[in-house]
Structure 1
Amino acid sequence: MLYWVMKYVLLGPILRLFFRPRIEGLENVPETGGALLASNHLAVSDSFFLPLMVPRRITFPAKSDYFTQKGFKGALKRLFFEGVGQVPIDRSGAAAAQGALDTLVRLLKDGQLVGIYPEGTRSPDGRLYKGKTGMARVALEAGVPIIPVAMFGTDKANPIGSKMWYPHPIRVKIGKPLDFSRYAGLDGDRFIERSITDEVMYDLMELSGQEYVDIYAAKLKEAKPVTTPTQRVPADAAPADKVPS
């Protein structure tokens, strides 16, 4: 109930008024059943505008820190994040990471839409970075398609490091679902999971028009300045060569 109140009564009308969001490819989101929405990640506001523009409820995993702060402020923050459809995920260790993946699989098997950022963190400079294979593992185990999603303008509306949001047109572009049922039962195979992840990242690159960088965004943030060259995959590359692994 709180999710729909936030979407249609409290937060949603404000976002529509100031940011004039629009969506393309909504027909690619199934009306029922589980599916994994894999989006590029430009700003925190990505997790607000994508659920706003898709009629079905979308659940995003969020850092457990957002839900554990004590006091009145902590209660308000917890209420807010629950209201925008986020679930707490503990990512503090290997066991916690597996628990996070298990949670996403359970939600997908329950027929829900789950949003995920395969880059693992926000892009530090607007480029598209190497995807993490947990996305593929979850999709294979749950037996659901992966739907690529490109966000545009959220980094202008909600710049990294800024506590303010600025009115700027937002666009959401949803690509065609990617069916990996041919790999059913092969979750846990690192080669298969990397192949699937690279295919999704290739589609995201084509959908968003972003420049692709063949390193993890988290590593870029750890090491500055970065001298790793960017790498763009030719549009006519064969499927097996879609994105360098």
Structure 2
Amino acid sequence: MTRKFTPFYRFAARGVLIPFLKLVSRQHVEGLENLPKDGGFIVVANHLTDLDSLTAMRTLVDADIPVYSLAKASLFKVPVVGQVLAAGGQIPVQRGTAHATDALAEAAKRLQEGSCIIIFPEGTLSRDPLKWPMVGKTGAARLAMQSGVPVIPMGQWGAHFILDTYSHHLKVGKRKDVRVKIGPALDLSQYGSDIEDRQKVRECTAEIMSAITRLVEDLRGEKAPRPYDMHYDGDPGKGKIGVRKPDPQN
């Protein structure tokens, strides 16, 4: 199916989102040639600030690709915001309920129809005090294994200089540089399509996160430490940055 913008989506993206981002940032993108020219595909990206979901979407819209994301269902109940998300075709996620898998089923359906789905595999803003990608959750891997569509990694860096992690205060004034790097499609065929195989799903998740982290390393010009792991380092709670524990001894 041909990728098409609905009139509302085109207005919201090109008439509102992109002009706003141009006011606060200078966006630099590498690797656009890695985006599939047709057919459904998944973009997986790091998630450091509420703003980088918008910069990722801008990257794809600028490439003339309408993109759909999985958003917390509670956002669809917020006046105006909810109507905008629904009209833009975004997918609600009922976190922590029996309906949580419904979002992945809808995403899989969209992929088969030729759409682009973006997922932030960490499942939340990074808790890492050093601002590196964390250990990922398994939703992106399960969707990739189940659908068999291309998976394109994306690294982002710089949006947090405009809106920091868990901050609600935009730093306006001089425009900040936001850098995005898109990698080639990942070969995940070795993991098969059995999403009930937990070991394969975990290994696929780790490969996805490693690919994202390598792109962020390129953007930052430094090597990443081990991924922050909320099971090991601890979950500091909603809206809080964690504290790294010493690396486990081998």
Compute the TM-score of the two structures, normalised by the length of structure 2. 0.81
Cα deviation, residue 183, structure 1:
3.5
Q: Aligned pair count?
A: 226
The aligned amino acid for 1:115 is: I
The aligned amino acid for 1:40 is: N
Tell me the equivalent position of 2:220: none
In the alignment, does 2:119 pair up with 1:116? yes
Cα deviation, residue 228, structure 1:
2.6
Tell me the equivalent position of 1:213: 227
Note the alpha carbon deviations across 1:167-214, whole angstroms, 9 max, x for none: 421111111110223443322211111111111111112110243325
Contact 1:128 1:211 in 2 (8 A): no
**3-state DSSP class of the match of 1:169?**
strand
Q: Which runs of 5+ in 1 are unaligned?
A: 232-245
Report sequence identity in percent. Answer: 31
Matching residue within 26, 41, 47 for 2:32: 26
Distance 2:167 2:58 in 1: 22
Tell me the equivalent position of 1:57: 66
Please show how residues 4-43 of structure 1 align to structure 2 within 5 Å. 4-43=10-49
Cα deviation, residue 137, structure 1:
0.9
**3-state DSSP class of the match of 1:127?**
coil
Note the alpha carbon deviations across 1:140-186, whole angstroms, 9 max, x for none: 11111221111111111111333222242111111111022344332
The aligned amino acid for 2:117 is: V
Aligned-residue Cα RMSD (Å) equals 2.4
In the alignment, does 2:242 pair up with 1:228? no
Tell me the equivalent position of 2:202: 194
**3-state DSSP class of the match of 1:41?**
coil
Cα deviation, residue 30, structure 1:
0.5
Cα deviation, residue 135, structure 1:
1.2
Distance 1:108 1:34 in 2: 5
Q: Which runs of 5+ in 2 are unaligned?
A: 1-6, 218-223
Note the alpha carbon deviations across 1:127-148, whole angstroms, 9 max, x for none: 2211112211111111112211
Cα deviation, residue 66, structure 1:
0.7
Judging changes above 3 Å, is the alpha-carbon distance between structure 1 residues 181 and 227 closer, same or farther for their aligned structure 2 residues?
closer
Distance 1:162 1:111 in 2: 35
In the alignment, does 2:45 pair up with 1:45? no
Judging changes above 3 Å, is the alpha-carbon distance between structure 1 residues 8 and 205 closer, same or farther for their aligned structure 2 residues?
same
The aligned amino acid for 1:212 is: R
In the alignment, does 2:73 pair up with 1:67? no
Cα deviation, residue 219, structure 1:
4.2
Compute the TM-score of the two structures, normalised by the length of structure 1. 0.83
Judging changes above 3 Å, is the alpha-carbon distance between structure 1 residues 230 and 29 closer, same or farther for their aligned structure 2 residues?
farther
**More deviation, 203-212/56-65:** 203-212
